[in-house]
């Protein structure tokens, strides 16, 4: 493989990875905004839910 070919391949790969990374980060941001809105609207229920999830994870971890 020629070095210029290698360079173009690496550049293509970088562009593709960058595009995918941007897409994933946009999706994560949307999800984060939705979660933040939900927590701000129902703080008590959200915190209780998070506490319950932590408790359940601990119980499952103790069993296994």
Partner 1 sequence: MANGDEQTESNKEQQQGARPAGRRRQAGSKAPSLKDEAPRLASAVSEARQSFEVMLDDWREMVEERPWRALGIALGAGYVVGGGLLTSLTGRILFGALRIGVRMAALPLVRDELMGLVQNATERGRGESERRHQ
Binding characters for partner 1, 17-36, by CB under 8 A (x = yes): ---------------x--xx
Which one of 17, 24, 31, 56 is in contact with partner 1 (CB under 8 A)? 56
Q: How many whole angstroms separate alpha carbon 45 and alpha carbon 38?
A: 10
Calculate ∠ Cα 4-7-12, nearest 5°. Answer: 125
Contact call for residue 6 and partner 1 (CB under 8 A) = yes
CB 17 within 8 A of CB 25: no
Q: Which residues in this chain contact partner 1 in the complex, by CB under 8 A? A: 2-4, 6-7, 10, 32, 35-36, 39-40, 43, 46-48, 50-59, 61-62, 64
């Amino acid at each position: 493989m020629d070095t210029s070919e290698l360079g173009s391949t690496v550049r293509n790969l970088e562009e593709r990875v960058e595009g995918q990374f941007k897409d994933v980060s946009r999706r994560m941001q949307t999800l984060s905004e939705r979660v933040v809105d939900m927590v701000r609207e129902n703080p008590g229920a959200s915190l209780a839910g998070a506490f319950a999830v932590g408790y359940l994870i601990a119980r499952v971890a103790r069993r296994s």
